[in-house]
Structure 1
Amino acid sequence: MSARVAQLAPERTLRRLELQVTRRLDGLLNGEHLGLLPGPGTESAEARLYQPGEDDVRHMDWAVTARTTTPHVRDLIADHELEAWSLVDLTPSMDFGTGTLVKRDLAAAALAAVGFLTVRLGDRAGAYLLHRDGLRRRPARTGKAAMYALLQAVLDAPATGAAPGETTMTGARAGLSRGTAPHGDLAAAITSLDRGQTRRGLRVIISDFLAPLDDPGGTGTGGGPAAAGHVQPPWERPLRRLSARHQVLAIEIIDPRELDLPDVGLIEMSDPETGAVHEIVLSRRVRERYAAAAAAQRERTRAALRRSGAHHLVLRTDRDWITDIARFALRQRRAAGRPVTTAGARP
């Protein structure tokens, strides 16, 4: 997806994206329900007698066993007709990109990877879209047409104002304030997703996870004394609550220019969240300090996601995102002890 769908043939571009996802990932995820995060079912079935050598002792129903004095197990029924909900960060920092994609386009691609595989299994996919002016909900629907509409909404998302088919949630309902929502409201958006969708299932958070940090050193950059120690991102606590009930996949979107700066001398830089513009001389010392602060920020993000219990997938605007997703899926399957099927896959 090298250009915005709104500017080029939308249907053709989205169909090409669908073919990319299904052809190159389907062989790896074939037969797996929500295969990016394989796991057992969650709905309990009736208890039955334990069959030695056939049943997993971890499924032993100890209450029934104690009551009947005969070993019983309780099967788990695989989930069907689930709802996979995604939270997509569309705040201004996602409109940046120096690689082959803008971060917003890569977020749409990540959403497509989850969405197309979800709707192909007959499940419903819905999304919460985090804009600078609030949080909007796209209802969970099944079918490719609904998936196309959702992707189109992500790529065409205006700076303000709700698009058709979206429910705008501001104030108390969404946990977001009216007007401009700073990037730190990712925490409130995760809380809203957790409270609004209580049925167990897959939750996907797609964001660059850039959030303002308390900076007791007064640097205002997130790279001063506060960055050196343990600073909990504002979204970590709500993400931990979300992970306690659901399978959570955190997809971090990054651009290589966010990790280091070029040696170009004097340059004007603007903050996409606030619009503030500063002239900065990119000397070697400044570039080294920036690279160190960026590395520290990424390490904080990794550590916070690990503590919250979410699975972490990194996608870069200068890399083949389908290959990165395929490798992630392979690692998840191997970690879960699932067989890896590669027939038809071309990662």
Structure 2
Amino acid sequence: MISEKEILKKVLKIELCARFLAQQLFTGKYASSFKGRGIEFSEVRPYMPGDDVRSIDWNITARMNAPYIKEFTEERQLSVVFMLDIGASMHFGTSQKMKREYASEVASLLAWTSSRNGDKAGLILFSAGIEKYIPPRKGRFHIMRIIREMLYAEPSSRGSDIQGALEFASRVFRKKSIIFIFSDFFTMDDARKLRILSSKHDVIGLRVRDRAEIRLPASGMARIKDSVSARSCFADFSSYSSRKIFSERIDAEERMLDSLFNSAGSDLLKLTTDDDYVPPLLNLFRTRSRRR
């Protein structure tokens, strides 16, 4: 069993890396990629040529006998929520990191980036049920707690109920939030609850997979294991028909997941554990900034 000292060392290592990347690369791009909760009144000031006449405050204009306009500012502070799948399929890895560890590192970077922007960070861990909920707050020790739970919280079941987690998030969060969902999405087959959540919040899916899950073995027999049921079987990938069936199934799954997120109006970022996650994250932020 891992010791508290080893846990703290790992958490501090990930925190240090995440803080550095957040400071060097992400803070400005993050701020321009995510809208605030809305517009709030700031002040009234004299009208100047070029101002939008629709902003004129006619009551004060009449009282002062000169045109005045209302100014508004975007309410920038947000709650940023990280939903992390810790079901059995996320405890898989053929490279240096398991999918859960890789997802935790990405979420840690986003947590520190949101913190530098003045936002609050929260966490939902789920498997077949909700394993842990940490309400959004600020502060270094709060984020370190989130990192620790993402890395080391023990799931009570092997399954992954994404639909139940989406429903839980819809009930818990009333004000508009940014919600990042980290999962391999193997059990995602319906968009209804995703659409409900996305209608109130800014939802981004981050699909995390191991390269072995999308790349066919070179040839010969391979053992395939269902991570939830723990059942396994052997498949002969020297057969053209077997390789064709496996490849078509992967492609169909990709198209279905793309369709589910598109129908909900949500972004989906696909990551693999042997790739650097910084370039695709930066690309996501740039794409979102251009859409604003």
TM over 0.5: yes
Post-superposition offset of 1:30: 3.4
- The corresponding residue for 2:113 is 117
Asked whether 1:256 is paired with 2:211, we answer yes
Q: What one-letter code is carried by the residue in structure 1 that aligns with 2:182?
A: I
Aligned length: 285
Aligned equivalent of 1:29: 26
2:201 alignment counterpart:
246
Query: Aligned residue for 2:84?
Result: 88
1:272 equivalenced with 2:236 (yes/no) = no
Match for residue 286 of structure 2? 330
Deviations 1:193-241 (A, max 9, x none): 01111121211111111116xxxxxxxxxxxxxxxxxxxx22x111111
- Greater shift, 135-144 or 46-55, is seen at 46-55
What is the aligned counterpart of 1:129 among 104, 125, 143?
125
Task: Kindly report which structure 2 residues correspond to 1:38-187, keeping only aligned pairs within 5 A, or say none.
Answer: 38-40=34-36, 42-45=38-41, 53-55=50-52, 60=54, 75-80=72-77, 82-160=78-156, 180=157, 182-183=159-160, 185-187=161-163
Q: What residue number does 1:216 align with? A: none
- In the other structure, the counterpart of 1:287 is 243
Query: Residue 71 of structure 1: CA displacement?
Result: 10
Q: Could you tell me how far 1:133 is from its partner in structure 2?
A: 4.8
Is residue 135–residue 189 contact of structure 1 (8 Å, CA) maintained in 2? no
Contact 1:261 1:291 (C-alpha < 8 Å) held by counterparts? yes
Q: Indicate the residue corresponding to 2:185 in structure 1.
A: 209
SS at match of 1:132: coil
Q: Deviations over 1:21-62 (max 9, x none)?
A: 333343443356x5373325514326868755345x9xx579
Q: Which structure: greater helix fraction?
A: 2
- Alignment equivalent of 2:176, drawn from 196, 200, 204: 200
Deviation per CA, 1:67-126: give whole Å up to 9, x if none. Answer: x9999666243233x321121111111111223321101110121022112223443211
Stretch moving more, 245-254 or 69-78: 69-78
Q: Are the aligned partners of 2:88 and 2:159 in contact in 1 as well (CA < 8 Å)? A: no
Change (3 A) 1:25 1:117: closer
Within 2, Cα distance between the matches of 1:10 and 1:322? 24
Mapped partners of 2:25, 2:49: distance in 1: 32
Deviation at 1:251, TM superposition (A): 1.1
Displacement, 1:137?
A: 0.9
Cα shift readout 1:297-328 (whole Å, capped 9, x = no counterpart): 11211221122111222221110112322232
**Structure 1: unaligned runs, 5 residues or longer:** 161-179, 213-232, 337-347
Counterpart residue type for residue 253 of structure 2: Q
Equivalence for 2:257: 301
Provide the identity percentage.
Answer: 22
Q: Aligned residue for 1:221?
A: none
- The within-5 A match list for 1:227-238 is 233-234=189-190, 236-238=191-193
Matched residue, 2:271: 315
In the alignment, the residues of structure 2 paired with residue 141 and residue 87 of structure 1 have an alpha-carbon distance, to the nearest angstrom, of 15
Distance in 2, Cα, partners of 1:117 & 1:306: 26
2:167 pairs with one of 162, 185, 191: 191
Q: Give the residue type in structure 2 aligned to 1:247.
A: D
- Secondary structure at the residue paired with 1:35? helix
Partner Cα separation in structure 2 for residue 6 and residue 308 of structure 1:
42
Distance 2:47 2:241 in 1: 67
Q: Give TM-score, length-normalised by structure 1.
A: 0.71
Query: CA-atom RMSD, angstroms?
Result: 3.2
Q: Tell me, yes or no, if the aligned pair for 1:35 and 1:329 is still in contact at 8 Å.
A: no
Q: What is the distance in 2 between the residues matched to 1:250 and 1:110?
A: 12
